[in-house]
Amino acid sequence: MVKSGVKSVKELNLEDDFLFAKVMTDESICKIVLEKILAIEIKEIKMPEEQKVINILSENKGIRLDIYVNDDQNMVYNIEMQKGRDTELAKRSRYYQGNIDINMITKGSKYFELHKSFIIFICTTFDPFNEGRHLYTFENLCNQNPSLRLGDETSKVFLTTCGTLDDVDQEMLEFLAYIKNSTDKVASESKSQLVHKINEKVQSIKEDKRTEVEYMTLLERDERNREEGRNEERRSVAKNLLQRGLDDEFVFETTNLSLDEIKKLRQELELN
């Protein structure tokens, strides 16, 4: 039973993380999507690893990547579906790049072991740079001579469904439209073989009875994680208030933690 306000599996579009990850674990689809976005040819890719977690040091902020793929040349491709507006997307791409690089080599390795990498964000509700483009590609260049590339072999690509300029071909436009509305009707109106192939996979996933179980399990896990995060935040606020000398009743009214929990925190802080 799907909670009120939560999409059912049948209602999911490709812009929804769960469906996107399921579709992109199909090697052939993942390959042609990458080829389309990057305008390159890829001989073959290794099995995509969905929701790859990189946490180099326990005290650092870890990242969970939607799709992380290697090809036969050991190039690395990271694709993120960005549904909500993110004003820090550029800095986030920088952070992802750093983590992916560190994950790529071990202590004592040579820098040449850092493989070429592409970080791709597909934005479905906003234009990240407000220039009306559907596609933005960034590489490190020399300010004094823009034709001179740094040669660090890193690229950051931002694709958006909100573009207005005539900067991509018709197949890309139809792919972007399908991301927002992943239905048989939209697919049937498209001439794109890419859209048709993705739609076949989408409908197969939606018809699979196991998908609903997996989807609900994931929703429940995410809700538990959010609740744990909220509880940790309340505990942090409570500790701060206790350290400032405020009484248990005030902390209770402010954080909604139980009085027993507040007393335990006071004991942990040795404030009795």
> pLDDT tens digits, residue range 64-90?
677 888 898 989 999 999 988 888 999
Q: Which residue has the higher pLDDT, 95 or 106?
A: 95
Q: How far apart, in whole angstroms, are the C-alpha atoms of residue 243 and residue 227?
A: 24
pLDDT, position 262: 87
The β-bridge relationship of strands 135-138 and 154-160 is: antiparallel
- Return the closest-CA partner of residue 175 out of 6, 8, 20: 20
Q: Which pTM value belongs to this model?
A: 0.79
- pLDDT tens-place string over residues 158-194: 999 999 999 999 999 999 999 999 999 999 999 999 9
Any residues with CB less than 8 A from the CB of 105 and at least 6 apart, and which? 111, 113, 114
Cβ contacts of residue 234 below 8 Å, gap of 6+? 255, 256, 257
* pLDDT higher than 70, residue 265: yes
**Residue tagged 């660090």 (tokens):** 152
Distance of alpha carbon 151 from alpha carbon 47, whole angstroms: 28
Q: Over 60: is that where the pLDDT of 120 sits?
A: yes
How confident is the model at residue 14, as a pLDDT? 96
Query: What is the structure's pLDDT at 6?
Result: 80
pLDDT at site 54: 58
Q: How far apart are the first and last CA of the chain?
A: 47
Average pLDDT over all residues of the chain = 88
Q: What tens digit of pLDDT does each residue of 129-165 get?
A: 999 999 999 999 999 999 999 999 999 999 999 999 9
